Amino acid sequence: MGRPYSFDVKGEPIGRPTASERWHLVAEHPLSCAESFSAFISAFCDVFFGWPDGAQRQQNPKCLFGRVDAFFLKFEMNQRGELHAHGCVWQPGMQPAKLERILSAEGGDAAAQRTRLLDFMESIQAQGFASPLLYSADDRPVHAQKWTPEVQRECAGVPSEAAARLTPLQADLLHGTLQEVKVARARAAMRPPLAAGSAAEAEALGLFAAEAVLDLLLHRHREGTCTAHGIVATDLNCRMRMPRIIHWVTTWLQQRTTCVHHKRHSRWVVAHCVALLLAAPCNHTVAFVCDIGRWLRTVELWDQRHPGLTEEDPKWQQRPRLPSLAQLAADAADYALKYATKAEPMQGGAAVLAAANLLRHRAQLAAPGELGAAVRQPPLVLDVLRELSVSALV
């Protein structure tokens, strides 16, 4: 299926098939695509979840996501013929009751526990550019020459405990003025080093991830994705609630709810995992149930439609109210259940046939003596789907 190509000294691909040729290769080889995607998902679960293929429980709790009690993945094919997965992860450390207790606690080591929790969230989810020398301006990474007035304004009024978290960020930005960025943008085709043993190597990794974000993870409104088919997608009706609000430091909303407002350094960058971008640059998104940025954008849109409205106005009662952490968790559970059990339309025939062929291929490898019978009497697609449904119930 593949086509060989190489790279020049700058990391630019030489002889790579065009986008049209690559799409034709994908369309002509559904089995190879299904096998490649299956291998990718197995490796992802092993490395990021510590859950090797076939294991009944987590084998490595020291993985990137830490302790994982359970997860599920739902495989789909979009209208462009791309295989992808939607999933949900359950972690004991992120249970709603425990999160509320940590975020609302006072005294003792409460501040340290909150810091560890927010640090963990920031290690998984990024909503900006990974490089400490880059920040967002018109959704392009710009060299941070100083602690800008814009950053100071955005951080004004945050809780005193959260303001203390500005120190490492400020130090990173100010330290960046002492370094020369040798390249303005790293090319996504260049493989980054696997480990960062110095500040220069860490910056190279950050620039690599920033380039991948520019290529893959800048949201663009699209009819049928942001809205239903037939409805033009705009900033006002995007169901992803993009563009989001800039927020320079991760905070928790103490007065209104115990949810977390995750730091976001770009209004258009899709929330992503930097480690996955470094391992295999791909289009993906990741979100925590307790992150309330999506709902804050809903409130922002309402305020834009009602400028100058005060709390004394009767219409103020119609202003969207932020949900509690328990409500967010309940909504996420309901959404995950519906997503895991929803029926898929049969027009995704390529994905169904790829799954059927993959099962046939595995059956032949498992029982070589029955190879001839399997080839002469291939299973019907509906029979394969029926077997999948039964095995899923078991």
Interval 5-44: pLDDT, tens:
776 655 567 888 887 888 788 778 888 888 888 899 999 9
The whole-angstrom separation of Cα 7 and Cα 13 is: 4
The whole-angstrom separation of Cα 245 and Cα 191 is: 32
The answer to which of 14-28, 110-124, 219-233 has the lowest mean pLDDT is 14-28
The whole-angstrom separation of Cα 323 and Cα 318 is: 14
| DSSP letter for each residue of 42-54 | HHHHHHHSS--TT
- Per-residue confidence (pLDDT) for residue 168, from 0 to 100: 57
- Higher-confidence position of 194 and 235: 235
Helix (H) / strand (E) containing 278: helix 274-279
The whole-angstrom separation of Cα 208 and Cα 186 is: 5
- Per-residue confidence (pLDDT) for residue 338, from 0 to 100: 80
- Tell me what the mean pLDDT of segment 86-101 comes to: 88
Model confidence at 379: pLDDT above 50: no
Cβ neighbours around 16 below 10 Å, total = 15
3-state secondary structure of 300: helix
| DSSP letter for each residue of 337-379 | HHHHHPPPPTT-HHHHHHHHHHHHHHHHHH-GGGHHHHHHSPP
Interval 338-352: pLDDT, tens:
877 776 655 455 555
Query: What does the buried/exposed string (b/e) look like for 203-236 if buried means 16 or more CB atoms within 10 Å of the residue's CB?
Result: bbbbbbbbbbbbeebebebeeebbbeeeeebeee
Model confidence at 394: pLDDT above 80: no
Model confidence at 306: pLDDT above 70: yes
Q: Is 257 exposed, middle or buried (0-12, 13-18, 19+ CB in 10 A)?
A: buried
- Higher-confidence position of 145 and 64: 64
Residue entry with tokens 């620039």: 207
Rounded to 5 degrees, φ, ψ at 126 are -125, 145
Tokens representing 49 are: 């979840």
- Tell me what the mean pLDDT of segment 357-371 comes to: 56
The whole-angstrom separation of Cα 321 and Cα 382 is: 47
Question: How high does pLDDT run on average in the chain?
Answer: 74
The proportion of the chain whose per-residue pLDDT surpasses 70, expressed as a percent, equals 64
Backbone CA torsion sign across 99, 101, 105, 109: negative
The proportion of the chain whose per-residue pLDDT surpasses 90, expressed as a percent, equals 18
Rounded to 5 degrees, φ, ψ at 291 are -75, 125
Model confidence at 196: pLDDT above 70: no
Model confidence at 58: pLDDT above 80: yes
* Ramachandran category for residue 79: left, alpha or beta (phi over 0 → left; psi -120 to 50 → alpha): alpha
User: Residue 364 — pLDDT band, cuts 50, 70, 90?
Assistant: low
Model confidence at 292: pLDDT above 70: yes
- Per-residue confidence (pLDDT) for residue 27, from 0 to 100: 77
The whole-angstrom separation of Cα 135 and Cα 53 is: 38
- Per-residue confidence (pLDDT) for residue 341, from 0 to 100: 75
- Per-residue confidence (pLDDT) for residue 288, from 0 to 100: 92
- Cα 111 → chain centroid: 27
- Per-residue confidence (pLDDT) for residue 336, from 0 to 100: 80
- Higher-confidence position of 192 and 20: 20
- Tell me what the mean pLDDT of segment 230-245 comes to: 91
Model confidence at 361: pLDDT above 50: yes
3-state secondary structure of 265: coil
The answer to which of 37-46, 151-160, 306-315 has the lowest mean pLDDT is 151-160
User: Residue 148 — pLDDT band, cuts 50, 70, 90?
Assistant: low
The whole-angstrom separation of Cα 227 and Cα 103 is: 35
- Per-residue confidence (pLDDT) for residue 180, from 0 to 100: 31
Asked if residue 235 lies in contact with residue 285, where contact means CB atoms within 8 angstroms, the answer is: no
- Per-residue confidence (pLDDT) for residue 10, from 0 to 100: 53
- Per-residue confidence (pLDDT) for residue 284, from 0 to 100: 93
Model confidence at 182: pLDDT above 50: no
Model confidence at 121: pLDDT above 80: yes
- Per-residue confidence (pLDDT) for residue 187, from 0 to 100: 40
| DSSP letter for each residue of 8-76 | -TTS-EESPPPHHHHHHHHHH-HHHHHHHHHHHHHHHHHHHSS--TT-SS-S-TTSTT----EEEEEEE
Model confidence at 174: pLDDT above 60: no
- Higher-confidence position of 372 and 241: 241
**Among 46-50, 216-220, 355-359, which range has the highest average pLDDT?**
46-50
Rounded to 5 degrees, φ, ψ at 39 are -65, -40
